[in-house]
Structure 1
């Protein structure tokens, strides 16, 4: 029997009367409804049954912060991680190299000096693997925290300019010899295995070099002419001439005709073809084009800077690369190194640092003098940039720093071996749960399981470097590659995850602060979705929402 008395619900049961506040009854009903919500596995099954995504291959792993599984779907199967590979590279770099590690780029005069004014020999910029010889401002600032009226972007060659100032300040007036860009710290492997040939044109596929300037890319801007009868204008930043631009096939189109600009540079060519049309009322088209030989580019630019400061240079600008000494299968070599290093890591064995690259045999009367220096930001600051904006080149440089630290030669396979040793001996991941060919995830040969990714994320959460590493992950609705995803409550500011996109593969892995207040770990990967189809991204985000709501 149920009666209402004032603000109470009076319930008569077995001769006993109870008075329950009306608010309590509402809370009970709400609580009951919440527990009637469909289980996570049911919600995910329904989402993946959508005709727009049902043909794709999905893998999902969700776990508590202690690693206890919450949900799994194909969690032990291989997927292309795309840029989720950066999670593995950056975690290994922080653990094995340390957050505070820096790298010093130097300008070395080598030869016969006559006082301070004359050098008969070479002036060499010695690359240290610094990823941030550029106009980028560090530390990284989230968009919401940036000033509304930001100052103009810094000169992308500012640090080369500063080192040229240091050289000029020594009193040098004449160099009888060459200006050299030396990237021999790392092996001369510009492109990891299975990077697509068309990627090599663009900034995101720029070649890897220990002497990296402006992310090894040039910004190319195409602006329409004032009328359809006028030529469109192509400009470059930095403005230093490197490529020859052929814009003979580029036209200004009629108003409303849109932008149809294409850029092509054939392998080995120094001619950038820009063609197509851009409407007279269109916004400029901006693309980042990769620099073919970054060390040579740095030397050419530095020579011009020295001459602008009144220093006569009689020689030419050229590059020096490390001679290739090995020709081995990537998987075989990296696995071998991983096993060797893994045993040392497991035993707690100290591994000595490698020495600097020698500039050659000593010759009587020849001196080697450092004329300029530049110190990089701390490693963690670069890792924040690498993960926030998904910088492929920076991840590749981190991989080669691991190679130099633990194998001395700077080959990609050696860096992959160091990552493998870290993942197996320290993190405890099954060695058969991943295969890496690079550090960025741009290689189509990279494979990883969702459960391995979750294990890495769980391991990281227990490390002293975790707080710094977590700040490198994009934040939903705030910054990086998640600035425009999860932009509304309750997920805004509560998803910390690395994105990944490569061809018909997509990934998202990280941490979710859930409705209950708990934080859970997740990895969602999808392969073989339809080309030019973004439906899987929307479903992926709804899966994240379901995880947050049910945990």
Structure 2
């Protein structure tokens, strides 16, 4: 294995130079059904079989691909699946689509006192954060309500309750990327635990953002000497304990003082408890008092004017976050919103996948044989072919939503998931791509401008043992370098 990794490292250094030497200024077009020599060499160095790799490279103004390899072999695309979800949302909902979060008062208000319950009704805003709730409650306070005698009631009826275990995918239920969709998801249902050594280096201080009155945090961290290898994520054991009065976070481990201040982002509560804890903290900041508890219900008074309404950021902003930074829960919110708009209420995962397929079909995208059981790509079962991904990219390129779709992709060497790839390379700024990576899967797809200023579609899907540990990326790099230097037919 050491020899294999050494060979792979050598090839990663040599591929760009070999391509420049072998291809030169007058490049020969590769036969469509064979792999370029440098790509084949990388596959051999990593012992990747042919069936592990699917590739499609095509000039956007050409009728046929210049490189097509295993194009009809169904592969797991990982987060490249988000291209389907975001394009469907843009086509069906429009770039300006927004979500609303409403606050209703269920009772009379006398002298600043709401004699009844305060309701918050969510519609699935994918990017609802603490400052949005703070402003929403400020609007409620501005309506003259200072004291609430009843309960906080949450209407989360837009989405069906998910029975999915957050840890089912990779046994990491507290990680942000594993959080489940929810109509009132705030801050993606995660907390930031900030760890910082004391000035004398004897203790480790822990603070939480946002602060939660209903979540005790017990730090058992001890300060230690030595280098900071791996940072907080590898040094701190995180767990949730059941206490007599509810749940509590337990942080344990030996934390090197040399790590300085670091942040650990984890989930700790149900979305309902999260909203409740945040509501209590923020309402107090507005000098409000609250005497009730927490309940769930369905607001059925459609003719009632809300006390306050928060309109979300437009869909185009959400799509940009989904594709550039590969946000899983936001992608699933888009699919569930499509189901709601398709009159599947409350929205379910299966209904959301059907709604995505329906929107794609209306937009002229072929989804035959495509398997989607997770709209974000966080799945072992999703399947699509390189030909289908290329067809989606071609269709999106001619769509009215093309500017919004293309601008949502990560830019090579500049931002998103490609921020640290192709730095100081001829490809910097010349490729807009969606990446995908889960265990044993590595994928990339999108648009690039070649050295001859030709616009290309490029799709690379790699499914093989440990493909996510470097082999998949090495193949992608080799294909992209070849495509960048290759001449138009």
User: Given the superposition, is the C-alpha separation of residues 116 and 440 from structure 1 closer, same or farther in structure 2, using an over 3 Å criterion?
Assistant: farther
For 1:488, which of 400, 410, 424 is the aligned residue?
Answer: 424
TM-score of the aligned structures, taking structure 1 as reference length = 0.76
For 2:256, which of 271, 279, 286 is the aligned residue?
Answer: 279
- CA-based RMSD of the aligned residues comes to 2.8
Contact 2:87 2:396 in 1 (8 A): yes
Work out the CA distance in 1 between the residues paired with 2:468 and 2:72.
27
For 1:235, which of 192, 207, 222 is the aligned residue?
Answer: 207
User: Given the superposition, is the C-alpha separation of residues 165 and 33 from structure 1 closer, same or farther in structure 2, using an over 3 Å criterion?
Assistant: closer
Work out the CA distance in 1 between the residues paired with 2:141 and 2:23.
77
1:39 has 2:30 as partner: yes
Larger CA deviation: 160-169 vs 456-465: 160-169
Larger CA deviation: 487-496 vs 471-480: 487-496
Structure 1 residues 309-334: Cα deviation after superposition (integer angstroms, max 9, x where no partner): 343322113445xxxxxxxxxxxxxx
Q: Shift in Å at residue 536 of structure 1?
A: 2.7
For 1:57, which of 45, 48, 52 is the aligned residue?
Answer: 52
Aligned to 2:138: 165
User: Given the superposition, is the C-alpha separation of residues 38 and 359 from structure 1 closer, same or farther in structure 2, using an over 3 Å criterion?
Assistant: closer
User: Given the superposition, is the C-alpha separation of residues 287 and 33 from structure 1 closer, same or farther in structure 2, using an over 3 Å criterion?
Assistant: closer
**Structure with the higher strand share, 1 or 2:** 1
For 1:522, which of 438, 451, 458 is the aligned residue?
Answer: 458
Contact 1:110 1:369 in 2 (8 A): no
Aligned to 2:355: 418
SS in 2 for 1:484: coil
Contact 1:53 1:529 in 2 (8 A): no
Work out the CA distance in 1 between the residues paired with 2:257 and 2:187.
31
1:87 has 2:83 as partner: yes
Aligned to 1:25: none
Contact 2:90 2:316 in 1 (8 A): yes
Contact 2:439 2:467 in 1 (8 A): yes
SS in 2 for 1:442: coil
Q: Shift in Å at residue 458 of structure 1?
A: 0.6
The runs of 5 or more residues in structure 2 that have no matched partner are 1-20
Contact 1:303 1:317 in 2 (8 A): no
Aligned to 2:282: 305
Larger CA deviation: 533-542 vs 186-195: 186-195
- CA radius of gyration, larger in: 1
Contact 1:207 1:290 in 2 (8 A): no
Work out the CA distance in 2 between the residues paired with 1:257 and 1:497.
33
User: Given the superposition, is the C-alpha separation of residues 114 and 158 from structure 1 closer, same or farther in structure 2, using an over 3 Å criterion?
Assistant: closer
Work out the CA distance in 2 between the residues paired with 1:63 and 1:194.
39
Q: Shift in Å at residue 126 of structure 1?
A: 1.1
User: Given the superposition, is the C-alpha separation of residues 267 and 54 from structure 1 closer, same or farther in structure 2, using an over 3 Å criterion?
Assistant: farther
Work out the CA distance in 2 between the residues paired with 1:531 and 1:272.
35
User: Given the superposition, is the C-alpha separation of residues 116 and 182 from structure 1 closer, same or farther in structure 2, using an over 3 Å criterion?
Assistant: farther
TM-score of the aligned structures, taking structure 2 as reference length = 0.85
Work out the CA distance in 2 between the residues paired with 1:442 and 1:313.
40
Aligned to 1:210: 183
Aligned to 1:100: 96
Contact 1:222 1:233 in 2 (8 A): yes
- Listed as ranges, the matches of 1:466-481 within 5 Å are 466-481=402-417
